[in-house]
């Protein structure tokens, strides 16, 4: 009787692994990323692919939008610079209206980002996929923002290259 029960449980567990939903894994990865970012975790860079594309769509006072594209290294430098002020102000991002879609071998999470110190939401998206070791990583990230400082800093970095 015990052997039959173990066999049945094994079949059920093996069968559920076959039907596992990768979107659930991507969502769990994203939730861990959000928690790490909102807690200013030192391991935040580990969530990104080394060659991730970081896009900030700057919304200027006149309503005009300008995109700034940077890489993981420059972005992490900028995060370190702003982290101390953000931490003191208890700044966090909340992501709502999440939609996960398959894009090739990767997944795209489209959402609205609400900064904790604001009363507005702005569009954002993340492209998440597995690296060569089978670990999920952020390959592309885009956020609309009213903060123009990243525009200046990213342009300075690009001009130095």
In order of their start, the domains of the chain are 21-160 (3.10.450.50)
Tens digits of per-residue pLDDT, 87-114? 888 999 999 999 999 999 999 999 999 9
Which residue is associated with the tokens 């909102």?
38
- Of 134, 128, 151, 124, nearest in space to 64 by CA: 151
Question: pLDDT per residue over 124-143, tens digit each?
Answer: 999 999 999 999 999 999 99
Q: Which residue has the tokens 């594309």?
A: 53
Helix, strand or coil for residue 69?
A: strand
């Amino acid at each position: 009787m015990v052997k039959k029960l173990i066999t049945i449980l094994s079949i059920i567990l093996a069968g559920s692994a076959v039907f596992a939903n990768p979107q659930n894994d991507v969502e769990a990865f994203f939730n861990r990323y959000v928690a790490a970012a909102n807690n200013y975790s030192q391991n935040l860079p580990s969530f990104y692919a080394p060659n991730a594309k970081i896009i900030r769509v700057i919304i200027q006072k006149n309503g005009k939008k300008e995109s700034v594209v940077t890489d993981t290294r420059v972005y992490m430098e900028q995060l370190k610079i702003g982290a101390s002020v953000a931490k003191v102000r208890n700044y966090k991002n909340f992501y709502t209206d999440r939609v996960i879609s398959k894009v090739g071998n990767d997944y795209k999470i489209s959402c609205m980002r609400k900064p904790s110190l604001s009363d507005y939401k702005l569009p954002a998206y993340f492209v998440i996929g597995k690296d060569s070791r089978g670990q999920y990583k952020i390959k592309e990230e885009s956020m609309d923002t009213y903060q123009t400082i990243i525009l200046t800093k990213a342009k300075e970095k690009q001009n130095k290259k």
